[in-house]
Amino acid sequence: MRKIFLIVRKDMKRRLRSPVSVICMLLIPLGLTLIVGLVFGRHGEVELSHIKVLLADNDGGMAANFFKQGMKQGKLAELIDVVEVDSAEGLSLMNRGKASALIEIPKGFTSSVLDGKSTQIDLVKNPRESFLPMIVEEITGTMTVMIGGAVRVFHEPIQETRSMLAADRWPTPDELAGLLASAGPRIALVKDYVADTLITLTSRTDEAPAEKPAGTFNFFAYIMPGSILIGLLFISEITMRDILREREAGTLDRIFAGPVRSAHVIAGKVLSAFAITLASCLLLILIGRIAFSIEWGPPLELFALVVGSILMCVGIMAFLFGFIKSERGADAMLPVVIIVICIFGGAMFPYEVMGPAMQKAARFSPAFWVIDGLKLVSIEKAGWGGIWRHLAIVYGIGAITCAAGAARLRVRLTGQK
């Protein structure tokens, strides 16, 4: 045990004295988060994949139509694909996960709105998506506030127009001027009405998470879990690569020339890679909190997920380094492996914007379970119940790859004896 500790301490000291490579690897996730967050989160100049929203209009009236047209106008049309369905079809599609949300406009919606009576719009969110349904919820909520406010403010002009429309004639220019003149002062009252909405939005998720996300949505929190995983994979790669470096420098042979078992050396190397990657990850999380204001969610669940993720990353690298003979080989092979793992797992392109086939494939990437778990904890504030499957998979892969990696490294390091 003391020999393992000596190896870990020595490697930690070396890394502290020569931190450039780890710092560079830390800059990758931070840079990615910053760039992607700024591009997608603030400017929106890069087109996002459309969010599919089902809309069941059981009313068919003017207000419902106004709502539908609002969802299809301007910038919203670039973000949302509204597909009109009936309620049964909508629920069926939602049950099969074919859309991010279903909006149901109830029968009598228009008359309730025009009569100034309270009414509601139902929103059903897809539980398999964490982020896109929240966007739909925000947009729908804003629309209900706008319609409700407008109806309250323009109640009298609307009633006058309603009688004219009911009489099957258009207003004359004089009547129209009168309507506009009476509407002017009411616009100043808008702010007094928006807090007291006429239309209530009720939303539900079929398998609702235990705890609802609190506060406003932080786009960086959506990006950073994937970036962190990229960083973890690269940092565990450069720390495990030390086995090759020590071998080429002759220090590994010198260790083996002493009264040291191969198990000591392998355990020492894996533990030092784990410790350095863990320290780096905690630093990334801290920077995420300070620089990007990310609320990381329940700390114990987060820590458990982080530890499992690092175990998995180090295990994967230990296994791969069991087959790689030289640094040149590592240079050629590992970046490709890491990028493939990250792309399939949704670290580079969010899972939600992938096509259905890629979404299915993502679940076979270990990265998906780390990223999705981190998003659940940080965005949804999920507890143990929400991430138990992620933990089981991440720890399972970690245990298997660590064991297989240690066995393979043992063969590689002592096979010549």
Partner 1 sequence: MIEVRGLAKSFGDVQALSGVDFAVGEGEIFGFLGPNGAGKTTTISIIAGLLGADSGTVRVNGMDIAKDGTRVRQILGVVPQDIALYEELTARENLHFWGGLYGLAGKKLRGETDRVLEIVGLSDRADDPVREYSGGMKRRLNLSAGLIHGPKVILLDEPTLGIDPQARLNILDIIRNGVSGGMTAVYTTHYLEEAEKLCSRIAIIDHGKILAQGTLAELVMLAGEGSVVTVTGAFSSAQVSPLLKGITVEHFGDGSLRMMIPGRSELSGALGRLFSAGIPIEDVSIREPSLEGVFMKLTGRELRD
Of the candidate residues 256, 292, 344, 351, the single one contacting partner 1 (CB under 8 A): 256
Report the residue number, 212 or 417, with the smaller CB distance to partner 1: 417
Among 31, 60, 250, 299, binds partner 1 (CB under 8 A): 250
Binding map of partner 1 across residues 263-292, x = CB under 8 A, - = no contact: ------------------------------
Q: How far is CA 229 from the centre of its chain?
A: 12
Q: Choose the stretch contacting partner 1; rule: CB under 8 A; options: 35-43, 164-172, 244-252, 337-345.
A: 244-252
SS3 content of the chain, % helix, strand, coil (to 5): 70, 10, 25
> Which residues 5-24 are close enough to bind partner 1 by CB under 8 A?
6, 10, 13-14, 17-18
Using CB under 8 A as the binding rule, whether residue 258 contacts partner 1 is answered as yes
- Smallest gap from Cβ 232 to partner 1, in A, equals 23
The residue written with tokens 């270990």 in the block is 366
Q: Binding to partner 1 by residue 260, rule CB under 8 A?
A: yes
Residue 358: both structure tokens together: 């890629």
The residue within the footprint of partner 1, chosen from 162, 261, 289, 389 (CB under 8 A), is: 261
Question: Coil, strand, or helix at residue 97?
Answer: coil
Q: Which stretch binds partner 1 (CB under 8 A): 106-114, 143-151, 245-253, 273-281?
A: 245-253
Stretch that binds partner 1, among 109-117, 171-179, 181-189, 243-251 (CB under 8 A): 243-251
Closer to partner 1 by CB, 16 or 177: give it. 16
Distance separating alpha carbons of residues 19 and 309, to the nearest angstrom: 22
Pick one of 24, 181, 249, 263: the residue that binds partner 1 (CB under 8 A): 249
Nearest distance, CB of residue 12 and partner 1, angstroms: 11
Residues with Cβ within 8 Å of 136's Cβ and at least 6 positions away in sequence, in order, are: 51, 53, 80, 100, 101, 103, 123, 125
- Yes or no: say if 213 and 377 are a contact pair by the CB < 8 Å rule: no
Other beta carbons less than 10 A from residue 90's beta carbon: 23
Residue 254 binds to partner 1 (criterion: CB under 8 A): yes
Sorted by sequence, the CB contacts under 8 Å of residue 283 that are 6+ apart come out as 26
- Residue 324, H or E segment: none
**Closest approach of Cβ 28 to partner 1, in Å?**
23
Instruction: Give the bridge partners for 57, in sequence order.
Output: 105
Binding mask 339-368 for partner 1 (x = CB under 8 A): ------------------------------
The Cα 213–Cα 131 span in angstroms is: 11
Contacts 24+ apart (CB under 8 A), 155-163: 155/116, 156/182, 157/182, 157/183, 157/186, 158/114, 159/114, 162/114
Contact (Cβ atoms closer than 8 angstroms) between residue 236 and residue 310 = yes
In whole angstroms, the minimum distance from the beta carbon of 7 to partner 1 comes to: 8
Residue 185 vs 259, nearer CB to partner 1: 259
From 3-11, 105-113, 194-202, 380-388, span contacting partner 1 (CB under 8 A): 3-11
**Residues engaged in binding partner 1 (CB under 8 A):** 2-3, 6, 10, 13-14, 17-18, 249-251, 253-261, 416-417
